[in-house]
């Protein structure tokens, strides 16, 4: 018999919702894919678990009995994994954090250092990745927490009850370019000519925000380079290739040293909110401890920002 643990979780979700569409949504797969997984489970067991002729669906007698086993196996597997994480961490569980690349370098180190300064000594493992992969990891249990810039479009696809989030701070994207021998910006957004643009790849959240601004302000530009990585755009800007919109937290040093210059006023700035996400189904003790501490700090003073700009 060849069973996949995700099938057991799928079946538990179906039993809870009594709906293929709702269970598929909860498990973040399409309904056809979800239905195939339930049929694969039934085929592996040689049993019919679901009466599909009823609305809402009902479990067969075999399904009702198997549900107890499915839930027990899922719970036991979770306990074993938490125990292994505890052993790996030595003095405690390791909290795995998936973070967008710019936040992994520009926000995460200071944030963790501040947590330790406040007495919360939690072992962490950072995975720097793109936002799409980070969201997938959170949904599939590949990480405990996710650090990302708030994206209203993506938020619509995340169940706030299952994936709650906390405000962690604010930053902004700034238009920057290299400087000449006199320390002046090589390019000017306020000029009349077309400017060379260092752009984000299509589909990138930061790119959508920048493109919206460019349309609103009718900027004339020629795209000379594209990438999904803010750090790569920063590097090309340092080489004098054009103007790039880069999160401020990703280029503190370059701005302070005068290697990059902001080449547009506040009307060209793009505000960003940083949020921390978790899956409410994860029961790691250190994740719950950290979340309670962050919620407590926000409750004491909701206006207190953990902004990396400080």
Residue 157 pLDDT grade (very low, low, confident, very high; cuts 50, 70, 90): low
Q: What is the mean pLDDT of residues 134-150?
A: 84
Contacts of residue 309, Cβ cutoff 8 Å, sequence gap at least 6: 169, 170, 171, 248, 249
If you write DSSP's letter for every residue of 39-86 in order, what string do you get? HHHHHHHTS--EETTSSS-EE-HHHHHHHHHHHHHHHHHHHHHHHHHH
Q: Is 156's pLDDT higher than 60?
A: no
> Greatest CA span in the chain, whole angstroms?
81
**Pick the residue with more confidence: 305 or 101?**
101
pLDDT at 133: 81
The residues, ordered by sequence, that sit 6+ positions from 71 with a Cβ below 8 Å of its Cβ are 8, 12
The answer on pLDDT for 304 being more than 70 is no
Residues 186-199 have a mean pLDDT of 90
Span 200-215, pLDDT tens digits: 988 788 888 899 999 9
Tokens 């107890």 belong to residue: 68
| Average pLDDT of the chain, as a whole number | 85
Q: What residues have CB less than 8 Å from 279, skipping those under 6 apart? A: 138, 139, 141, 144, 162, 163
Identify the DSSP state of 25: H
pLDDT of residue 45: 92
Alpha carbon distance 37, 217 (integer Å): 49
**If you average pLDDT over residues 187-206, what whole number do you get?**
88
Q: Which residue has the higher pLDDT, 91 or 222?
A: 222
- Listing DSSP states for 130-195 in one string gives -HHHHHHHHHHTS-SEEEEE--HHHHTTS-TTTS-EEEEEEEEEEEEEEB-TTS-BS--TTSSS-E
Find, among 308, 310, 284, the residue nearest to 106 by Cα. Answer: 308
Residue 60's pLDDT is 92
pLDDT at 243 exceeding the cut of 70: yes
**CA-CA distance, 216 to 267, in Å (whole number)?**
11
153 against 270, higher pLDDT = 270
Q: What is the pLDDT of residue 306?
A: 45
Backbone angles phi, psi at 282, to 5 degrees: -75, 130
Q: Provide the percentage of residues in the chain whose pLDDT is more than 70.
A: 88
User: Does the predicted model carry a pTM greater than 0.85?
Assistant: no
Q: What's the gap between Cα 192 and its chain centre? A: 38
pLDDT greater at residue 259 or residue 70:
259
pLDDT at 305 > cutoff 60: no
pLDDT for 237 beyond 50? yes
The upper half-sphere exposure of residue 256, i.e. CA atoms within 13 Å in the direction of its Cβ, equals 7
Q: What is the pLDDT of residues 66-82, one digit of tens each?
A: 988 888 887 777 767 66
Q: Are 80 and 91 in contact (CB under 8 A)?
A: no
Domains and CATH numbers, the chain: 5-87 (1.10.10.10), 90-170+273-300 (3.40.190.10), 171-272 (3.40.190.10)
What tens digit of pLDDT does each residue of 22-56 get? 888 888 888 898 999 999 999 999 999 999 988 88
SS3 118: coil
Q: Is the confidence at residue 308, as pLDDT, over 50?
A: no
């Amino acid at each position: 018999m060849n069973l996949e643990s995700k099938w057991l979780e799928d079946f538990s979700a179906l039993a809870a919702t009594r709906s293929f569409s709702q269970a598929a949504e909860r498990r973040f797969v399409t309904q056809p894919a979800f239905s195939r997984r339930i049929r694969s489970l039934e085929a592996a067991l040689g049993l019919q678990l679901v009466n599909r002729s009823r609305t809402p669906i009902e479990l067969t007698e075999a399904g009702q009995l198997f549900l107890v086993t499915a839930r027990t196996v899922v719970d036991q597997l979770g306990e074993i994994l938490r125990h292994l994480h505890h052993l790996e961490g030595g003095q405690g569980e390791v909290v795995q954090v998936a973070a967008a690349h710019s936040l992994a370098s520009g926000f995460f180190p200071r944030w963790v250092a501040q947590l330790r300064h406040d007495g919360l000594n939690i072992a962490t493992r950072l995975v720097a990745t793109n936002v799409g992969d980070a969201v997938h990891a959170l949904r599939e249990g590949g990480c405990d927490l996710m650090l990302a810039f708030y994206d209203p479009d993506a938020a619509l696809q995340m169940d706030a009850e299952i994936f709650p989030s906390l405000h962690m701070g604010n930053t902004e994207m700034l238009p920057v370019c290299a400087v000449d021998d006199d320390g002046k910006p090589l390019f000017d957004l306020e000029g009349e000519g077309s400017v060379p643009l260092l752009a984000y790849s299509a589909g990138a959240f930061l790119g959508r925000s920048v493109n919206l601004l460019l349309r609103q302000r009718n900027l004339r530009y020629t795209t000379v380079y594209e990438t999904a990585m803010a750090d790569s755009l920063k590097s090309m800007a340092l080489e004098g290739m054009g103007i790039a919109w880069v999160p401020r937290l990703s280029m503190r040093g370059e701005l302070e040293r005068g290697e990059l210059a902001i080449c547009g006023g506040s009307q060209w700035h793009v505000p960003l909110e940083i949020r921390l996400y978790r899956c409410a189904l994860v029961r790691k003790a250190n994740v719950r401890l950290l979340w309670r501490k962050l919620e407590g700090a926000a409750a004491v003073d909701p206006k207190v920002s953990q902004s990396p700009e400080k």
